[in-house]
Amino acid sequence: MSVSADGLVLVTALGGPAALLPTAIRNVDPARGEISALDLRWLPHDARSGSAPGPVDRVVVLRQSGRRALVGGPLELRSLPGGLPVEPVPPYLRGWADVLGIVGLYEPDDASGLRLVLDPELALDFLEAPPPNLDPLRLGAW
């Protein structure tokens, strides 16, 4: 599978693991104010084990057609000509991926670690109305 990303893609971290929003932010120009930053607390991965939430990365809100796409920091803009090679989510995790809007996994050539690839619309659906037990700003569990 290849996700078209002719322009810039935003490479960022989402609660520890990195994530990509390959299409929603295409050609976004941060200088024009299309990306604004908010300070939010993000659920760190360790929190699910019961420990208190720790410091989290800055969270960026991307505004798109009146909706907000939320991604985490730190941020990096990359040019990925030819599209983004995305590998499928293992069927074992399909339900998790569907809920969070994750459409695949991507491993950059620079050995910087694996990335989760988000569908921005699906991610927005989750972020705007997360299931009660998966509220991103609360300790949640399946």
Partner 1 sequence: MSPAPAETASGSGDDAASASTTGFVFAVGGELYGVDLDEVVVAVGVAELLDVPWTPAHVLGVQRIQGGFEAIISLQRVLGIPEEGPGDAPPADDARRSRSRVLLLRAGDLRAGIVVDRIEDVAEVGALTPCPPGTRGQVAVYARGVGRWRDGFVCWLSAERLLQGTALRASL
Residues forming a β-bridge with 13: 18
The nearest distance, CB 56 to partner 1, in angstroms, is 12
Comparing CB distances to partner 1, the nearer of 38 and 93 is 93
Comparing CB distances to partner 1, the nearer of 54 and 95 is 95
The nearest distance, CB 7 to partner 1, in angstroms, is 26
Question: How is 37-86 classified by DSSP, letter by letter?
Answer: EE------GGGGGTPPP-----EEEEEETTEEEEEESS-EEEE-TT-EE-
Q: Which spans of this chain sit near partner 1 (rule: CB under 8 A)?
A: 14-17, 43, 45, 48-49, 87-96, 98-100, 105, 107, 113-114, 116, 131, 133-134, 136, 140-142
Structure-block tokens of residue 17 = 């693991």
The nearest distance, CB 123 to partner 1, in angstroms, is 12
Instruction: Tell me the C-alpha distance between 59 and 72, whole Å.
Output: 4
Burial of 27 (0-12, 13-18, 19+ CB in 10 A): exposed
The nearest distance, CB 132 to partner 1, in angstroms, is 9
Comparing CB distances to partner 1, the nearer of 41 and 45 is 45
